[in-house]
Structure 1
Amino acid sequence: MSAPSHTTSYYAASANDKNLRPALQGQVEADICVIGAGYTGLSTALHLAESGFKVVVLEATRIGFGASGRNGGQIVHSYSRDIDFIEKHYGDKAGAEMGKMAFEGGKIIRRFVDQYNIQCDLKDGGIFAACNGKQMRELESKKALWETHGHNNLELLSDTDIQKYVGTTRYKGALLDKSGGHFHPLNLVLGEAAALESLGGVIYEDSPVTRVEEGAKAKVHTENGSVSANFVVVAGNAYLGGLIPKLQAKTMPCGTQVITTEPLSEAQQKALLPNGQCVEDCNYLLDYFRLSGDGRLIYGGGVTYGAREPDKIESLIVPKMLKTFPELKGVKIDYAWTGNFLLTLMRLPQFGRVSNNIYYAQGYSGHGVTCSHLAGKVLSDAIQGQAERYDVFAGLPQYPFPGGRTFRIPYTAMGAWYYTLRDKLGI
């Protein structure tokens, strides 16, 4: 049986590093063992290695195999629920502390890219596009909210202004976040892996964890070996499976789909996105798109439960793309893929401990690119005894989905239908 490889995505086809790491064999000792070589795991591992710790990372398949190597590649700040939601439901103190951290993840990404010379086509600028008047008013509120928490570099765009940035008449206005941006997500995570290895960290691929043995010194088992460590970080997110049952009960994997066109002419690129920013709309089941480093349009959106075949993905996403850019009718689609992100009931990330020395972070609910990098810093600090910021996240309630595993999907599908209807009606 051949070892699992990456999905057939544009990112995998254009990855800078196609080298494979060996599987774990035998007994290994480390200060910290990280389960999962995605953004959460590698951000944690890299922060710890920078502080001098011996770190071992166990990856079931390939570095960046999950959402970290499949996502839209956009730097979007804050959380899936914004700071005002946190203030309203969990108090001003929680909101203030979460607000202080809401814009840090993007800075961590940029530091890694600059410090370790990661080649991932990083480009500045992100746009939130309003599909109706209600969404435009919400963007006005978002600008005021973020500025209250010290995040500036924001500009509201009218329905005519946005056409200077996005070649469509679909939107009623937008919020331009000049500190947002986009990049090749798989090349970012591969660059972070190389940075970790340059500091002495070790990554084992094809090493799915079969059991985590708790104790004063935890022991993480794979089929052909084990890692004994003072601390363990569980960072499998949507691809963790049933390894830690009590974590599985509090979340649900959801799929999103992405397509990539053939390379477009320079004139086509300028007509679609003249200044090269990435875009996401403000719908609950949102569309997101951007240009790749080699001039392709990457377009994604929607939510499904379970994987889709490439032809089915095209049938779902191409109509969305043509609604935004009808002039692309007939353009060749070179790649189509799906991937899972992890949804929580409250759509807020879950940080916590399985036991005294086994930490986890998961459930970014579609906002994982920046928050996962923040999580790595927060977990690294907590392991080193600076747990104040970790405690803020860990203090947020973590509810199981009603009805357990049996009813998670239908309940969430009903919720998605409701919010889709609201989006269509503009209410």
Structure 2
Amino acid sequence: MEIDRPPLSANVPVWDDGCWTPLPALQGNVSADSCVIGLGGSGLTLINELLRRDERVIGLDASDVGAGAAGRNGGFLLAGTYDFYHDAIVRHGHARARAIYGATIAEMARLAEEAPGTVRFVGSKRIAATDAELADCRMQYDALRADGWPCEWHDGADGQGLFLPTDGAFDPLTRCRLLATTARNDGATLFAHSPVIEIRGTSVVTPGGTVHAGRVFVAVDGRLEQLLPELVGRVRTARLQMLATAPTAELSVPCPMYYREGFEYWQQLPDGRIAIGGFRDKGGDGEWTSDATPSAVVQEQLERFLRDTLRVSAPITHRWAASAGYTETGLPVIEQVRPNVWALGGYSGTGNVIGALAARAVAAAALGGDTSQVTLLSGHIAA
């Protein structure tokens, strides 16, 4: 198959409209009550939570606002954990799975409130790729309905499976930029292009200067284990890849779609573009990498699916990748890894909602001593 491909080195997500003014880099020594490393969804949510507690906050990013997975993902808002609901019950216990599911539904409403105009509550579909997956969908349906969560059986031209009306779609990069603007307006100082060289006690050293803080929060997803070697073996970074087309009317996709147990996922943006990601498993061990550059192997799989399965012939305008952290449990890391140094990340592909919850949880634990949400979301008893 001839691949219709712009230069892969571009690596620009469909969400980037090119209108953002980059933040300045840190120069010199500065001080704050709290330093947050990572200006993605969880880091910016955390910064705003700290500001509400009257903290003086400095935020840093190695690149810029939303430059990591937070601004380069598929734009899905999904309830629950990495595991489908019935699997989460088995893995984490019924009460805990139900509590997390409810917390994520409530958090989606809060995300929409904090970033007006970015969220569309259109639901999502899980479409079965095989008979075995169809049976698994029925188990998920039964578990959700038994606990009173909205779920509908779906049988349509696009396949059979589930429709989950509480889910939604959003523009992840615009959300990050809105959160950053709010944080700066409320008094936070944010720096971009300031990669962390070392965390020395609660001082954060970058090429241009050092932040001296009372506490440090490392709020990154992919590459978390590189910043905090204590987490090697518990968090593993993977590359997630996507592509997007020009606006098209060839296909109408009313809501985010999950297929093949979530390995493939796509949605149609309001302007008609199709954005699709997946096939990480087809890339082999090479996709367990911190290199966030699109690879030909996975991009070819994505394009073949777009052309042969979705029957979309619109030209491809964007190809991009991002780094995301995965854990063995599917639950995030939220803990104090050194005195007054907290880590949050490893969202296993669920960072849009779980990441925001993790940020609120770590703020409550670090500043208020309330560890209940940390324990719920991560299973870790906060130090």
TM-score (norm 1): 0.78
Could you list the runs of 5+ residues in structure 1 that have no partner in the other structure?
Answer: 398-427
Aligned to 2:305: 320
Alignment-derived partner of residue 134 in structure 1: 132
The one-letter code matched in structure 1 to 2:192 is E
Q: RMSD between aligned alpha carbons?
A: 2.5
Cα distance per residue 1:112-165 (max 9 Å; x no partner): 123xxxx4364522111122333233223323433455533x22112xxx32xx
Q: 1:10 aligns with which of 8, 14, 20?
A: 14
Cα 1:264–1:89 change in 2 (3 A) is: closer
1:273-332: CA deviation from partner (whole Å, max 9, x where unpaired): 2xx211111426x11111123211111111141455475554121111234322x24x21
Gaps of 5+ in 2: 1-8
For residue 81 of structure 1, report the CA deviation from its aligned partner: 2.3
Q: Give yes or no for the alignment of 1:210 onto 2:188.
A: no
CA 1:105–1:205: 2 relative to 1, 3 Å: same
- Deviation at 1:77? 1.2
Instruction: Give runs of aligned pairs for residues 362-401 of structure 1, distance below 5 A.
Output: 362-385=345-368, 386-396=370-380
Question: Deviation of residue 210 (structure 1)?
Answer: 1.2
- Equivalent position amino acid for 2:15 in 1: Y
Aligned partner (choices 328, 333, 344) of residue 345 of structure 1: 328
Report what 1:277 is aligned to. Answer: 255
The answer as to whether partners of 1:121 and 1:293 remain within 8 angstroms in 2 is: no
Which letter does structure 2 place at the counterpart of 1:281?
Y
| Structure-2 separation of matches of 1:41 and 1:19 | 19
Provide the rounded CA distance (Å) in 2 between the counterparts of 1:149 and 1:356. Answer: 40
Partner of 2:174: 187
| TM superposition shift of 1:202 | 1.5
- For the 8 Å contact 2:237–2:325, the answer to whether it is kept is yes
Letter in 1 for 2:277: G
Displacement of 1:92 after TM fit? 5.0
* Greater percentage in helix: 1
2:247 to 242, 258, 263: 263
Cα distance between partner residues in 1 of 2:132 and 2:297: 32
What's 1:246 paired with? 230
Q: Distance in 2 between matches of 1:8 and 1:301?
A: 17
CA gap of 1:390–1:312, structure 2 versus 1, over 3 A, is: same
Identity, % of aligned positions? 23
Q: Per-residue CA shift, 1:197-251, capped at 9, x if unaligned?
A: 121112100111111122xxx2122122222222211112213462211123322
Partner of 1:177: 164
Supply the distance in 1 between the matched residues of 2:208 and 2:293 (Cα, whole angstroms).
32
CA distance in 2, matches of 1:50, 1:177: 33
TM-score (norm 2): 0.86
CA 1:199–1:91: 2 relative to 1, 3 Å: same
1:256 counterpart SS class? strand
